[in-house]
Amino acid sequence: MKFSNGCVTIAFFDVIFYKIYRFRESGITIIQVFVHKNYNL
């Protein structure tokens, strides 16, 4: 599979942050901000 580095990074972190998002609801705000910044690049 060939992806640009950005897509791989976003997909990789998306999975991690999704698990953290479900595991620690206290970090939802920080995670959402970080994810939104990555997607808006």
Tens of pLDDT, residues 1-41: 455 555 666 777 778 777 776 766 655 566 677 776 666 54
Q: Give the residue carrying structure tokens 């999975």.
A: 15
Per-residue b or e along 5-37, where b marks 16 or more CB atoms closer than 10 Å to that residue's CB: eeeeebeeeeeebeeeeeeeeeeeeebeeebee
Position 34 scores a pLDDT of: 73
Position 24 scores a pLDDT of: 63
Cα pseudo-dihedral 26, 12, 14, 32, rounded to 10: 60
pTM of the model: 0.30
Position 38 scores a pLDDT of: 64
Give the residue extent of every domain in the chain.
5-39
Token representation of residue 21: 């998002």
